Amino acid sequence: MDEGVLSWLLDSDPAIRWQVLRDLRDAPAAEWEAERARIAVEGWGASLLSHRDASGRWTPKLYGEKWISTTYALLELRQYGLPGDVVRDSCALFLSDDVWRKDMCIAGFALTLLRWASLPHDEVLDFVLAGQLADGGWNCESDRHSSFHTTINVLEGMPSGDAAARAREFLLVHKLYRSHRTGKVVKPEFLRPVFPPRWRYDVLRALDHFWSVGELQDERLEDALTVLRSKPWNVTAPHPGKVWFELEPRGAPSRWNTLRALRVLRARNARSC
């Protein structure tokens, strides 16, 4: 792997550095864990935590204004790699607020955050399992074909098992971004990776999920991997909405996209050897 690229990635925030050390450098656990611990006290993690009030909230409503609400702040901190116990009180708000019953995407977020913080989550899990559609995915409208967006939002929080395997199969049948009927690209924005992804789906987010569960061997991923190899990993325009701060300058090479792409490709290549 190009040492110049690795040095550039390491010249960054702790949220990126610890993942580079673990996923691209194979550093000893003590080294990357020490770097990970810095997320709460410096850089992006500390900045985002500074907006949390004494009640554990970023905004009065648990889920609401995009992208500064408590839900999206927590999701972003999880993507940084902050240990969930740091914000367990904030995640526990989902135990007393059933906003997740109103929308399957929010249910997916609640499941993700409760499991991240090692909190009870059986009620939310039962809710999403009951809402899984025949094709293996999820949609906020249960009478329709599964949504890529809703499916990834739920899948990222699912424990391993048959339901998660069926959801990944839904994505694989579509080669992560194509119509299973016509083979055409479902939506052009699926090919534009954005970090943080918020509630939206893209192929890099999907590939990063397959990487996280060690399921990169399926040949139906090759189409999406070819797309990944052909793309410049730049910062693309963020999804419209309020933010507490911008992570990377727009139009410049993206460390977030580069990190995620490189670890996916590295793991895929290792499986091919």
For residue 168, is pLDDT > 60?
Answer: yes
* Amino acid making up residue 94: F
Give the count of alpha carbons within 13 A of 90, CB side only: 29
Confidence of residue 247 (pLDDT cuts 50, 70, 90): very high
Q: How far apart are CA 268 and CA 12, in angstroms?
A: 25
pLDDT at 144: 79
**pLDDT tens digit string along 98-147?**
999 999 999 999 999 999 999 999 999 999 999 999 999 999 987 779 99
For residue 251, is pLDDT > 90?
Answer: no
**CATH code for the domain in which residue 195 is found:** 1.50.10
Our count of domains for the chain comes to 1
Which range marks the domain in which residue 106 is found? 3-272
Q: How far apart are CA 156 and CA 185, in angstroms?
A: 23
**pLDDT tens digit string along 223-246?**
999 999 998 899 988 899 999 999
pLDDT average, residue stretch 11-39: 98
Are the C-beta atoms of residues 259 and 241 closer than 8 Å to each other? Answer: no
**pLDDT tens digit string along 191-222?**
999 999 999 999 999 999 999 999 999 999 99
199: tokens are 């509630």
